[in-house]
Amino acid sequence: MALGALIGAYQEDEAGALRALLPLAGQTLIEYQARCLHALGAAPLLVLVERIPAPLNLAFERLRGEGIPVIAVNDGGDAASRFEAGSDVILLADGIAPDMDDLARIADEQDPVIVTVADDEPHSGYERIDAEHRWAGLARMPAGLIGATAAMVGDWDLQSTLLRRAVQSGIRLVPSASGEGAGPFLADSETIMGFERRLLLASRGARTDWVSRYLLPVVEEIATERLMETRVRSEWLTGLAVALSVAAAFAFTRGWLGAAVAMLVASTPLDLVARRISLLRLRPLGPRMVSQRLLWPAAGLALVALGWFVARHGGGWGAMVAALAAAGFAEAMRIERIGTEPPGAIWYFSRRAAIILAIPFAIGGWWNAYLALVALYAAVSFFIVQHFRHRVIRD
């Protein structure tokens, strides 16, 4: 049976605007909340709101455009009627940015639970339950409790009344995730930037090659901060990286070597930024996405195009052989690495490493030397990975 969800979106901030519309990493808070719950498979996904201003309606339309079918309800009775009898519902409080570990935990629970934080100064804005606990803004409860509460709530706050009735009915209290950078966040116009920064830091992933680890972090960070506030989609960035690589291949065939290298260098951080933006928007890029899979073939095409041009302009047949060998060994290494993580992996041949290594050779015009180097680099990387993989298999 599906696990439904009910989000509160009717409280206003100091400026008189809905807290649900506070901006957060290029989206509104309500969009972030809805995406969190949708990621768990919550359905139906209801938003309790007294009125729907135009910005909130636009947020709903954006969510529906992504396949997240949010439904606006204006009272508890309407909400209760939309849940299946006997089902459980995740209640997410107005203005709360949930911790994903908390969400995953209550989704896995078999019984209703209320997530709590300590009754201390850092959590003074959260609703008090008793002398030791405050509500973390997240709970799992029977759908029937919402209907029963709606029938008697009158002019009372449905969210708070539901919490009181849930506590009185003996629903178990569980502590929220703890530790630095974890736990729920009670958003307001003054503090939401802190949570946005927390999301930005959490989106940092493993940097799998020496270029992304040592040369691109600053570029990646600045680009992510700038682009997460826009409507730029992560798929566009990976598509742009592929387009730049193909354009570079064409430029190599025409002899525009400097322009080709510049386009390839510009493409190096784009897939990293795309991955982080997709995580910030809770829409991870799938490993089978076409533009993701085309990144290496497009870069390989540029390498072969360079070999073809150099071979025709004084480099001889060896330039073309070196380019083809580098592309072949790189693909073989990629296949050998599937399912394994050899030691020192960041130093192996990679698309970004090949691009960055081209810069000094492009300045000096030493293209034959460059092609020989990348062929050797790719070959050595392949044999090391192959040796490690076969040793693991033997062991």
Domain at 155, CATH number: 3.90.550.10
- The reply to whether 147 and 278 lie within a common domain is no
Q: How far apart are CA 174 and CA 197, in angstroms?
A: 27
Q: Map residue 90 onto helix, strand or coil.
A: strand
- The reply to whether 159 and 234 lie within a common domain is no
Mark which of 186, 213, 233 sits at the end of a domain: 186
Give the per-residue pLDDT at 1.
Answer: 56
- The reply to whether 180 and 211 lie within a common domain is no
- What is the tens place of the pLDDT at every residue in 248-301? 999 999 999 999 999 999 999 999 999 999 988 888 777 678 998 999 999 999
Q: Tell me, yes or no, whether 306 lies in a domain.
A: yes
Q: How many helices (H) and strands (E) does the chain have?
A: 16, 11
- The reply to whether 364 and 218 lie within a common domain is yes
102 and 177 in contact (C-beta within 8 Å)? yes
- Which CATH number do you get for residue 229? 1.20.120.1760
Q: How far apart are CA 151 and CA 107, in angstroms?
A: 27
Q: Which domain holds residue 125?
A: 4-186
Q: What is the mean pLDDT of the chain?
A: 90
Give the per-residue pLDDT at 179.
Answer: 58
- The reply to whether 38 and 108 lie within a common domain is yes
- The reply to whether 318 and 230 lie within a common domain is yes
Residues 6+ apart with CB under 8 A from 242: 291, 294, 295, 298
Give the per-residue pLDDT at 180.
Answer: 57
Q: Tell me, yes or no, whether 199 lies in a domain.
A: no
Residue where the block lists tokens 């209907």: 147
Q: Tell me, yes or no, whether 68 lies in a domain.
A: yes
- The reply to whether 295 and 347 lie within a common domain is yes
Q: Tell me, yes or no, whether 176 lies in a domain.
A: yes
- The reply to whether 281 and 159 lie within a common domain is no
Give the per-residue pLDDT at 322.
Answer: 97
Q: Tell me, yes or no, whether 17 lies in a domain.
A: yes
Give the per-residue pLDDT at 296.
Answer: 93
**Tokens at 230, concatenated:** 């826009």
Q: Cis omega (within 30 of 0) on the bond before 44?
A: yes
192-202 helix and 217-227 helix, angle to the nearest 10 degrees: 140
Residues 6+ apart with CB under 8 A from 221: 200
Give how many domains the chain has, as a whole number: 2
Give the per-residue pLDDT at 195.
Answer: 85
300 and 224 in contact (C-beta within 8 Å)? no
Which 8-state DSSP code applies to residue 127?
Answer: P
- The reply to whether 17 and 69 lie within a common domain is yes
- What is the tens place of the pLDDT at every residue in 131-187? 899 999 999 999 999 888 887 765 567 888 899 999 999 999 999 976 556 788 988
Q: Beta 4-8 vs 45-48: how paired, if at all?
A: parallel
Give the per-residue pLDDT at 173.
Answer: 95
Give the per-residue pLDDT at 343.
Answer: 86
- The reply to whether 154 and 283 lie within a common domain is no
Closest CA relative to residue 354, chosen from 373, 341, 335: 373
CA dihedral angle for residue 211, residue 213, residue 219, residue 225, rounded to 10 degrees: 150
pTM of the model: 0.83
User: pLDDT truncated to tens, each residue of the chain (395 aa)?
Assistant: 579 999 999 888 767 789 999 998 889 999 999 999 998 889 999 999 988 999 999 999 999 998 999 999 988 888 889 998 889 999 999 999 998 889 999 989 889 999 999 999 888 889 999 989 999 999 999 999 988 888 776 556 788 889 999 999 999 999 997 655 678 898 887 788 888 888 888 888 778 899 999 999 999 999 999 998 888 889 999 999 999 999 999 999 999 999 999 999 999 999 999 999 998 888 877 767 899 899 999 999 999 999 999 999 988 999 999 999 999 999 999 998 887 888 888 999 999 999 999 999 999 999 999 999 999 999 999 999 998 887 765 65
Q: Tell me, yes or no, whether 193 lies in a domain.
A: no
In DSSP notation, 253-286 reads: HHT-HHHHHHHHHHHTTHHHHHHHHHHHTT-PPP
379 and 329 in contact (C-beta within 8 Å)? yes
Beta strands in the chain (DSSP E): 4-8, 23-24, 27-28, 45-48, 70-73, 88-92, 96-97, 113-118, 133-142, 172-175, 185-186
Q: How far apart are CA 372 and CA 325, in angstroms?
A: 9
- The reply to whether 169 and 112 lie within a common domain is yes
Q: Tell me, yes or no, whether 339 lies in a domain.
A: yes
69 and 140 in contact (C-beta within 8 Å)? no
Closest CA relative to residue 291, chosen from 306, 308, 271: 271
- The reply to whether 174 and 225 lie within a common domain is no
Give the per-residue pLDDT at 285.
Answer: 79
Q: Tell me, yes or no, whether 196 lies in a domain.
A: no
Q: Which of 177-202 are b and which e, b meaning 16 or more Cβ less than 10 Å from the residue's Cβ?
A: beeeeebbbbbeeeebeebbebbbee
